[in-house]
Amino acid sequence: MNAKSKAEEWLNSTSLDDISRQEIQSMSENELDEAFYKNLEFGTGGLRGIMGVGSNRVNKYTIGMATQGFANYLKESNSGQVSVAVAHDSRNNSKTFAQITADVFSANGIKVYLFEDLRPTPELSFAIRHLKCNGGVVLTASHNPREYNGYKAYWSDGAQLITPHDNNVIDHVNQISSIDHVDFNSDQNLIESIGEQVDTEYLEMIKELTLSSESIKNQTDLKVVFSPIHGTGITLIPRVLKELGFDNVHIVEEQSTPNGNFPTVVYPNPEEEEAMTLALKKANEIDADLVMATDPDSDRVGIAVKNSGGEFQLLNGNQTGVLIVYYLLKKWSESRFKGNEFIVKTIVTTELIKDIADDFNVNCYDTLTGFKHIAALIAKLEGKEVFIGGGEESYGYMIGDNVRDKDAVASCVILAEMTAWARDQGKSLFDILLDIYREYGLYQEALKSIVKKGMRGAEEIQEMMRTFREDPPAMLAGSKVTTIIDYQSSLKKDLKNGSSEEVQITKSNVLQYITEDGTKVSVRPSGTEPKIKFYFSVKSDSEWSDYESESENLKNKVHKLLVDLGL
């Protein structure tokens, strides 16, 4: 069905409201094509897209259709009273979409625990497990630009959907071919408002994760700057830090109020240096020890610490992940190890995490990008091995297994605690990072994202992947490519001897090139944004004494990789 036919189908629907009808009728031909050229795809994690009217947009009808399909599958998969938890972030329309989601679930006889107001995404994961729900939904587009919103679907374990549930839910959503197939007539008796009680249980769980209570007591004057970047972090992060004893937390006031327009930033993403500007300004004013900022739904955290020159330096997601894993293993090694613990990272995350885990004789497993894969591995090993922590390079980390998604609330607690622990030793977090590099080797990672929007952009991304697959580079930054891993075909090719072996990870559209000197380049289309991503990992192959100088050498090597790949 073409865009015009889809638009006419919507216009003929008895469910369509007058405002939406008028907007469709006033669209130009190009606007109509973009809004209706396809149905907004319900992927393995749910929906994400630009808000607006149309089958390819996030709106109350596409949200309703997704919920109807999910509701049908939940009822088919469970006997008795089915229940779900529903939460939302600070984005425009998120609260409305959360209410619509609750309405449709309840209209289908499903009990709904609806958060009274915005809450961090990881609390939704916790609530599903805590309330013994069959599933859940959070309305968020994470760190995407302000015009986006989204719908993340979760299963009873508090994790985002995995096989077979992801594909089965997709099938059921795709069966909802018309907005007239959605039951929007809510049963308010089945919708229960939740809030403070779940907040308290969630924060008590996080406080139990702490490993250096004495250091916190010793360093109550630790100066922390925190920014929620107009998102949900303001609801719980300052509160839990205070309850733990951090009495010197300074909020970035300009970004403290939840606001879906994100007025102080271009992108509400702590991965972006621009989004950290106000937090760094505040940190310099008060001479802070630690700077932390979370994205709108508080599942990612970016940090800054003082470097050896006394200037604030932003750490990338790999560096923060390395610090967290090192600290967890260091503290666990003092009294907690039983010999069956493990760490998890993703295939595009720094290998330094594995080096550290190996040194502590702790298993380190790789998964595909996305915390649903980490959660699936935790579930698979439950009762056999104990998950300590882990994460991925895109600023997401998980500590303990009570939450089955990345958790910036728990991460902020661990990072503040680790800063206190380092300060007890007369060190900063940057000093600890340098200690790690001296012990295990200096790594440098980088990410290059190329945005390709719209229908043509999606085609260009697929063409780029086809080219890299069919015509791989022979040399990268002066080093011969010796291994190619294609996760789509599950094959790892050794170019030195021509042999191949099967990769024991779920199939995915990801390519990796590994060179003779250990350089690793990964290429993958984003699953949630109109981007193709290139991940670079290089390691110093010589003794180094000056971090800044050697780090610059590695940055130059990354630049050579970019040139060799035509980026």
Q: Could you tell me the pLDDT band of residue 262, with boundaries at 50, 70 and 90?
A: very high
**For residue 332, what are its two tokens?**
């666990």
- Decide: 389 and 353 in contact? Cβ < 8 Å: no
Alpha carbon 563 to its chain centroid, in Å, reads 29
Read off the pTM.
Answer: 0.93
- How far apart (Å, rounded) are the C-alpha atoms in residues 449 and 314? 19
Mean pLDDT of 135-143: 95
3-state class (DSSP) for residue 123: helix
Tell me the β-bridge partners of 292: 226, 303
Confidence at residue 533, expressed as pLDDT on a 0 to 100 scale: 93
Q: Is 142 a catalytic residue?
A: yes
Confidence at residue 414, expressed as pLDDT on a 0 to 100 scale: 98
Of the candidates 292, 44, 236, 229, which has an alpha carbon nearest to the alpha carbon of residue 124?
A: 236
Tell me the β-bridge partners of 87: 138
Domains contained in the chain, CATH given: 3-194 (3.40.120.10), 202-440 (3.40.120.10), 444-564 (3.30.310)
**pLDDT(39) > 70:** yes
Confidence at residue 542, expressed as pLDDT on a 0 to 100 scale: 73
Catalytically annotated residue among 83, 142, 428, 479: 142
**For residue 167, what are its two tokens?**
């594909």
C-alpha radius of gyration, the chain, whole number: 24
* Position 235, amino acid: T
- Decide: 386 and 399 in contact? Cβ < 8 Å: no
**For residue 563, what are its two tokens?**
């040139």
Confidence at residue 504, expressed as pLDDT on a 0 to 100 scale: 85
Of the candidates 306, 297, 369, which has an alpha carbon nearest to the alpha carbon of residue 125?
A: 297
- pLDDT tens per residue, range 344-390: 999 999 999 999 999 999 999 999 988 999 999 999 999 999 999 99
Contacts 24+ apart (CB under 8 A), 353-357: 353/321, 353/322, 353/325, 353/390, 355/440, 355/441, 356/322, 356/325, 356/326, 356/329, 356/436, 356/440, 357/325, 357/329
**pLDDT(527) > 80:** no
Q: Could you tell me the pLDDT band of residue 480, with boundaries at 50, 70 and 90?
A: very high
3-state class (DSSP) for residue 500: strand
Strands 148-155 and 499-502: unpaired
Of the candidates 333, 331, 328, 280, which has an alpha carbon nearest to the alpha carbon of residue 302?
A: 280
- Strands (E) across 17-144 are located at 46-50, 83-88, 111-115, 135-139
Confidence at residue 545, expressed as pLDDT on a 0 to 100 scale: 85
Of the candidates 288, 285, 316, which has an alpha carbon nearest to the alpha carbon of residue 303?
A: 316
Q: Which residues contact 395 (CB under 8 A, 6 or more apart)?
A: 270, 271, 295, 300, 301, 302, 317, 320
Alpha carbon 427 to its chain centroid, in Å, reads 30
Q: Could you tell me the pLDDT band of residue 455, with boundaries at 50, 70 and 90?
A: confident
3-state class (DSSP) for residue 108: coil
| Inter-CA distances, 127 with 2, 77, 89, 412, Å | 41, 20, 15, 20
- Decide: 322 and 356 in contact? Cβ < 8 Å: yes
Q: Which residues contact 531 (CB under 8 A, 6 or more apart)?
A: 449, 450, 451, 452, 461, 525
Q: Is residue 302 left, alpha or beta, with left meaning phi > 0 and alpha meaning psi from -120 to 50?
A: beta
The count of C-alpha atoms lying within 13 angstroms of the C-alpha of 453, restricted to the half-sphere facing its C-beta, is: 5
Map tokens 């670079």 to a residue. Answer: 536
User: How crowded is residue 95: how many other Cβ atoms within 10 Å of its Cβ?
Assistant: 17
Map tokens 């990789």 to a residue. Answer: 561
What would the 3-class secondary structure string for 149-195 be?
EEEEEEECCCCECCCCHHHHHHHHHHCCCCHHHCCCCCCHHHEEEEC
Question: What percent of the chain stands above pLDDT 70?
Answer: 100
**pLDDT(541) > 80:** no
Of the candidates 147, 133, 12, 134, which has an alpha carbon nearest to the alpha carbon of residue 78?
A: 134
Of the candidates 48, 35, 49, which has an alpha carbon nearest to the alpha carbon of residue 4?
A: 35
**pLDDT(236) > 90:** yes
Mean pLDDT of 16-36: 91
- How far apart (Å, rounded) are the C-alpha atoms in residues 209 and 204? 9
Confidence at residue 457, expressed as pLDDT on a 0 to 100 scale: 87
- How far apart (Å, rounded) are the C-alpha atoms in residues 20 and 144? 24
**pLDDT(528) > 70:** no
Mean pLDDT of 543-565: 92
Of the candidates 127, 132, 125, 133, which has an alpha carbon nearest to the alpha carbon of residue 83?
A: 133
Angle at 122 between CA 283 and CA 196, to 5 degrees: 90
**For residue 560, what are its two tokens?**
């050579």
**pLDDT(558) > 90:** yes
Mean pLDDT of 66-91: 97
Confidence at residue 120, expressed as pLDDT on a 0 to 100 scale: 98
- Decide: 158 and 166 in contact? Cβ < 8 Å: no
- Rounded to the nearest integer, the mean pLDDT of the chain is 94
Q: Is residue 426 left, alpha or beta, with left meaning phi > 0 and alpha meaning psi from -120 to 50?
A: left
